[in-house]
Amino acid sequence: MFDGYFRTRVDKIAEPIGAGLHKIGISANALTFFGIAAAAVTMWAVATGRLILGFILIIVTGLCDLLDGPVAKAAQSSSLKGAFFDSVADRVTDVMLLCGIAWYLNTNSGGNIYMLAIAVMAVSQIVSYQRAKAESLGLTGKGGIMERAERFVVLAAGLLFEVILIPILWALLVLVSFTALQRFVYIWRQAGK
């Protein structure tokens, strides 16, 4: 959804920032690596119950992910290697963030509710895999109601307002599952016979 409606507006803001970061010597790969490091600290913060710190750090993680592309564009250094690194980093950060939430829920909520975060992680990986597989086949795999950017925003809200974290995870499970179904149908139709 973000890619379809807001990408152009966000790019108008992100591209000058990316150019500025490039001018001061920050590379796209360094930004991607910093995003992974920020996600690791976010995982620790959330797992240990520091949800407000986790909220701040998830924003830092998201900003790194948002800006690594514009930095690569400004540097004219876009490459297959960089795209691969960015894609793997996205999966790693997704897993770390949701593992931190699962650990937090296991420690603080009891029962098996931590499995909700694991389920969201699993379905999120399916959505990401669908896009990667579609693109490897020469098809388009973007789209859906709950893409990665939307998941970041919704998870950040859950960290900021702890009382809604579990309802947010339930909503994410439903919406990300629906996104997986949307993508499957969209890619299936493109594939033809």
Contact 26, 3 (CB under 8 A): no
Q: How many other CB atoms are there within 10 angstroms of residue 93's CB atom?
A: 26
- Coil, helix or strand at residue 112: coil
Q: What is the residue-level pLDDT of the chain in tens, covering all 193 positions? A: 555 556 677 777 878 788 888 888 888 888 999 999 999 999 999 999 999 999 999 999 999 988 888 888 888 877 788 888 888 999 999 999 999 999 999 999 878 999 999 999 999 999 999 999 998 888 888 888 888 888 989 999 999 999 999 999 999 999 999 999 999 999 999 887 6
Question: Is 0.95 topped by the overall pTM?
Answer: no
Contact 171, 145 (CB under 8 A): no
Beta-carbon contacts of 72 under 8 Å, excluding residues fewer than 6 positions away, are 18, 28, 78, 79, 82
The rounded distance, in Å, linking the Cα atoms of 61 and 49 is 18
Separation of first and last alpha carbons in the chain: 27
Tokens, residue 122: 């699993």
Contact 164, 112 (CB under 8 A): no
Q: For each of the domains in the chain, give its residue range(s) and CATH number, in order of start.
A: 2-191 (1.20.120.1760)
